[in-house]
Amino acid sequence: MSSREDILQSIRRNTRVRYEKPDLSGLEHEALTYEDKLSKFCEILKQVGGQAVILKDKENVNDMIKAAYPEAKRIASTIKEIKTGNTIQPITCSTFHPDDVENSGDLDGTDVAIVDGRIGVCENGAVWLTQDVEQRAVYFISEALVIILDRNNLVNNMHEAYKQIDTGEYGYGVFISGPSKTADIEQALVMGAHGARSVTVILI
Amino acid sequence: MSTKHSKAAGKFLENKGLAAWHDETLWMVRAKRDKVSKEVPEWEHLRDMASAIKMYSNSHLEQLLMEFEKNALANGAHVYWAKDADEYCSIVYNILKGHQVKHFIKSKSMLAEECGLNEFLENKGIEVVESDLGERILQLMHKRPSHIVLPAIHVKKEEIGELFVREMGTEPGNNDQTYLTHAARKNLRRKFIEAEAAMTGANFAVASTGECVVCTNEGNADMGTSQPKLQITAFGMEKIVPDRDALGVFTRLLARSGTGQPITTYTSHYRKPRKGGELHIIIVDNGRSRILADQEHVKTLNCLRCGACMNTCPVYRRSGGYSYTYFIPGPIGINLGMLKAPLHYYDNVSACSLCYSCQNVCPAKVNLADQIYHWRQQLHTLGVASSSKKLMSGGMKFLMSRPALFNFALKNAPIVNSLPRGMIYNDLNDWGKEREIPEFAKESFNEMWKKNKVK
């Protein structure tokens, strides 16, 4: 008999009381909500070490990115343009597309990656990214991450977030809440363990 | 009466500075957990639902694991089933061998620790690199984790500084945490890029989608799995959850309970292999299905491995992870060790004051203290109860069931107060070891009550 059959048989033999699947609707209904989602999201993102900036009318997103990371030379972008109201702003500050490289390791040394955020979660400052390029390393390997997020796509909590997301065609998605961090040496908090040292979410 | 735990704890406490730091630091993590949990008014409801989901999923494992397998196969993953540690290690080895892997990068997995994966692979000539910073430090020091979430909590930065001078060529004497962390970032980045395969554990496996979810703060699981195109993910079968709505509950609890963060930095959802790559998923039993039949202890399968029970435990904080004989320390480790091999790990059940704090902070409501109490009741049956404790409780029973004798003894007890220390603190009195005997009152409550002195 295969291990699969052995294990399933052992489960059948040993399972005792069968509990019903709980109804989560009460909890989901009761869960935290915020009156001002935009300011809550900005506040929590700051607490987890990131920063949120709101793109104002007539402000250019490229200027904003260049002002935030003036030293950046290698800038990858997974998006060509952003839409704000009726206007379209092309992303002109990037120097390459992440799928232009031959190997994922060639992305090492990327200063800034500009990526598309799908959903922002107010209770924890996390943004949901769905893999939309072949080299998903770009979300982690660059020194700084700039996430473009539509301010209308903010949700209160994780229950609401999970109702709206999917992992898309590539079959990979991730919530990112601020920069990579560790406290493994004497519990001192250090940003930039392996992933981005700095995360900026631009709300459009 | 001394157990292996209490002897090892005695050693840990000899370094007073480190012991005090350990205690205070973990208490600070516990305080952070309190703060963030209080920001969520529905916190107790969340815990109730987390527990209810686990009780459901662990009593429907057959159905959910088969659903997971079906969906994972449809996603293009390979799925394996491992009965025990040996089978799990062999499956990993065969995948690596089949792809001529020489460099293997891992993110933190308690299952790999449980099954001794690193030693197994290293003996077969495969270089295994741990990528979580704390795990990497311990790997280079040839030590084991002393905490499941904060693995290097017992190591001082000076030791790490010296280690990194040797291993990574850092400046001697520079023990700054930021400097050392960034040196490791640079050093491990090469390892990520050179590796031919990457491995992760899983915090959750979702039956309805066939995806595995991994939570990290460092981003090491994602750095690993976005470089080499060969990914292996293994999980103990109790990590299964029915659907994404369940993830909504667990992702709100996990980091808040473990480290006091509102969520981990990265919550990664691996559903399909990368283009031109392979995703291999191993479902591991290794004794878990046996626990299903044990009604007293089945709730250990609810555990999310968040570490909250360790941070809050007054005994763990003051004795350190190495004082326990099982590889997982603290309240959950006491219970898991007993389930693994009671005659081997019974020393740990005394490492508990039954304060019940662990049970009250556990996000999935594992009845940790109830279970420890229950194990203690079994020690006699297992034939490992302490003979001196049995003698003393036998004596107490004799005394307490004879009121006249008891009152006589109590009346004369204050004599002990004026005895020379040597007569009280000696080898004959186990209760006088490592603690001061309280002073006996001149008058008992009973006498005071009778004289109407109690208002």
Summarize pLDDT for B103-121 with one digit per residue, the tens. Answer: 999 999 999 999 999 999 9
Q: Is the pLDDT of residue B422 over 90?
A: no
The answer as to whether A12 is a domain residue is: no
* Beta-carbon separation of A175 and B267 below 8 A: yes
Give me the residue label for tokens 């990526």. A115
Confidence of residue B89 (pLDDT cuts 50, 70, 90): very high
Give me chain B's average pLDDT, please: 95
Residue A51's pLDDT is what?
Answer: 97
Nearest CB to A194: which of B218, B271, B291?
B218
| CATH for A180 | 3.40.50.10420
Task: Please enumerate in sequence order all residues whose Cβ is within 8 A of that of A129, keeping only pairs 6 or more positions apart, or say none.
Answer: A115, A116, A117, A118, A139, A147, A173, A174, A175, A176
Q: Is the pLDDT of residue B246 over 60?
A: yes
Q: Chain A residues with CB inside 8 Å of B28's CB?
A: 187
Q: Is the pLDDT of residue B126 over 80?
A: yes
Residue B1's pLDDT is what?
Answer: 54
Return the bridge partners of B213, or none. B204, B269
> How much of chain B exceeds pLDDT 90, in percent?
83
B392 Cα to chain A: minimum distance (Å): 39
Q: Chain A residues with CB inside 8 Å of B134's CB?
A: 182, 184
The mean pLDDT values, 10 residues at a time, for chain A of 204 residues are: 95 98 98 98 98 94 97 98 92 97 96 98 98 97 98 98 94 98 96 98 98
Residue B120's pLDDT is what?
Answer: 98
The answer as to whether A51 is a domain residue is: yes
* Digit-coded pLDDT (tens) for A148-185: 999 999 999 999 999 999 999 999 999 999 999 999 99
Pick among A108, A158, A198 to test the B interface (most B CBs inside 10 A): A158
B194 Cα to chain A: minimum distance (Å): 8
Residue B87's pLDDT is what?
Answer: 98
Q: Does B151 touch chain A (CB under 8 A)?
A: yes
Q: What is the mean pLDDT of residues B334-351?
A: 97
Q: Which residue of B has its CA nearest to A195?
A: B219
Distance in Å from the first CA to the final CA of chain B: 41
CATH node for B4-22+296-382: 1.10.1060.10
Domain range for A59 is 36-203
Confidence of residue B416 (pLDDT cuts 50, 70, 90): confident
A69-73: which pairs have CB atoms within 8 A and are 24 or more residues apart? A69/A111, A69/A112, A69/A144, A69/A146, A69/A198, A71/A111, A72/A111, A72/A112, A72/A144, A73/A111
Nearest CB to A195: which of B219, B267, B291?
B219
In angstroms, rounded to a whole number, what is the distance separating the alpha carbons of residues B453 and B241? 61
Rounded to the nearest angstrom, the gap between the alpha carbon of residue B32 and the centroid of all alpha carbons in its chain is 19
The answer as to whether A5 is a domain residue is: no
Distance in Å from the first CA to the final CA of chain A: 58
The answer as to whether A119 is a domain residue is: yes
Extents of the domains making up chain B: 4-22+296-382, 60-289, 398-450
Return the bridge partners of A51, or none. A200
* Digit-coded pLDDT (tens) for B54-75: 999 999 999 999 999 999 999 9
* Beta-carbon separation of B248 and A188 below 8 A: no
Q: Does A70 touch chain B (CB under 8 A)?
A: no
Q: What is the mean pLDDT of residues B51-56?
A: 98
Q: Does B237 touch chain A (CB under 8 A)?
A: yes
DSSP 8-state assignment for residue A96: B
The answer as to whether A4 is a domain residue is: no
- Choice between A10 and B439, residue whose per-residue pLDDT is larger: A10
The answer as to whether A184 is a domain residue is: yes
In angstroms, rounded to a whole number, what is the distance separating the alpha carbons of residues A200 and A46? 10
In angstroms, rounded to a whole number, what is the distance separating the alpha carbons of residues B199 and B269? 14
* Beta-carbon separation of A22 and B248 below 8 A: no
Q: Is the pLDDT of residue B423 over 90?
A: no
What fold, for B60-289?
Rossmann fold (3.40.50)
The answer as to whether A30 is a domain residue is: no
Looking at the structure of chain A, the number of domains it has is: 1
The answer as to whether A91 is a domain residue is: yes
* Digit-coded pLDDT (tens) for B277-312: 999 999 999 999 999 999 999 999 999 999 999 999
